[in-house]
Amino acid sequence: MHQPHGVITVRVTKEFGDSTVSKILDLVENASSKKSSQESFITKFARYYTPCVVAVAVLLVLIPTVFLSGNFHQWLSRALVFLVVSCPCALVISVPLSFFGGIGGASKKGILIKGGNYIEALSKIETVVFDKTGTLTKGVFNVQEINATNGSKEELLELAAFAECYSNHPIARSILKTYQKDIDKSAISEIEEIAGHGITIRYNGSKIAAGNAKLMEKLGIHFSSTDTVGTVIHVAKDNVYLGSIDIADELKKDAEEIVSLLKNAGVKKTVMLTGDSKKVAAYYAKLLSLDEYHAELLPADKVAFVEKMLNEKTVNKMLAFVGDGVNDAPVLARADVGIAMGGLGSDAAIEAADVVIMTDEPSKIGKAIQISKKTLKIANQNIYFALVVKLGVLLLGAFGFATMWEAVFADVGVTIIAILNSMRALHND
């Protein structure tokens, strides 16, 4: 079935409630509703634990006094000690507080985590998959060279600018920025965008084609290949090849250290998925020391690759995808952990993601994993510390070796110590 392609003019207005800032604020405010397994465990634990210890305390009074002729006041005192010690405050307060501290500490670093469950997921990441443009690179393209084969460079740039004038893609914007002249869009007709290839238009009666090598091959136009590492836009007029425009992106300043940071954080595999050519992908993959790369991919192809990697990953380990554009939203939603570059990223990407890097620094991903591991460590410390102390004093109290003073320490004292320990999650320097 033929799929129509063209250009439509749309005017969109939205209220503050639909803005990026509003959505991010909402995500932060509702982060506590998404609990980690530790938080869920403590909630369930307290639900059954409290009635059980009350029942044990009653039995601790009744059985010795009724069946063993024990001293009622003595066993009542032991039962009260047992009740005070068994109060689950230390667990119920300190464990969620650890995750709140982790989320707060991460936000101070410009990392927004949408819930405690994602802190837990971050700590288990085994594979990190990157989009390239706008994620590892700045997404700010500049024309490097205009290679005219037939005709002048001015004509080549003009035709490319008219072909790309309706597009908001960074590559199209770089061509328009270099052209720097007004464009009479009334002279353009028969606009057709060919996904993953390029665009064709009718301009002043001539058919103009601007796109990658696949577009030239599709139209049967003989063209000259180049050794340029960046993106190459080939231009043809009435099926006659005019030349090419070399366009290059620039790596983000901290991109080259991202792999070492991730490896230090325990990540086993790093992968890059991009719609760019294999030559460009190979160049950046080697420069960044990535383990694997796949090029010339459409958004659906990226989803397919992520699906495949999800099936191949280790059980109980996580896969994270890092992206920034509208096209990345399906992959961000499909990955175990979706990480969006929030500073320049699209609303769709930010909404689909589980973690948002507000500073657009990919190195913050390694920091997010470190924060998640520290937060989980603190939460587990609180759980083990509270349970060990309480169980110890409970046994001592049952046999009459612990007084109410020890019971108060096992309840209030342990709670205070656990809360102070939880506050360490706020500091991640």
Chain segment 341-371, per-residue pLDDT in tens: 876 556 666 777 888 888 888 889 999 999 9
Query: Which of 248, 276, 298 finishes a domain?
Result: 248
User: Is 25 part of a structural domain of the chain?
Assistant: no
Could you tell me the residue range of the domain that residue 194 belongs to?
142-248
Q: Are 132 and 261 found together in one domain?
A: yes
Check whether residue 267 and residue 126 sit in a common domain. yes
The reply to whether 131 and 269 lie within a common domain is: yes
Fill in the DSSP letter of residue 184. Answer: -
Do 377 and 286 reside in the same domain of the chain? no
Judge if 263 and 329 occupy the same domain: yes
Q: Domain ends where: 226, 248, 270?
A: 248
Q: Is 146 helix (H, G, I), strand (E, B) or coil?
A: strand
20 versus 392: which is more confidently predicted?
392
Instruction: Mark whether 147 and 212 lie in a shared domain.
Output: yes
In the predicted structure, residue 42 carries a pLDDT above the cut 70: no
CATH of the domain at 322: 3.40.50.1000
Domain boundary residue, one of 302, 335, 358: 358
Return the exposure string of 368-382: e unless at least 16 CB atoms fall within 10 Å of the residue's CB, then b: bbbbbbbbbebbebb
With respect to residue 124, please indicate whether it lies within any of the assigned structural domains.
Answer: yes
pTM: 0.71
**Number of domain units in the chain:** 3
* Amino acid found at 7: V
Whether residues 179 and 128 fall in one domain: no
Catalytic positions are: 131
Distance, in Å, from the CA atom of 104 to the CA atom of 91, rounded to the nearest integer, reads 20
pLDDT tens string 78-102:
878 878 887 777 777 888 888 888 9
The reply to whether 24 falls in a domain is no
Report if residue 7 sits inside a domain: no
pLDDT tens column, 104-113: 899 889 898 8
**C-alpha distances in angstroms, 155 versus 177, 181, 215, 265?**
15, 13, 20, 51
Is 151 contained in some domain? yes
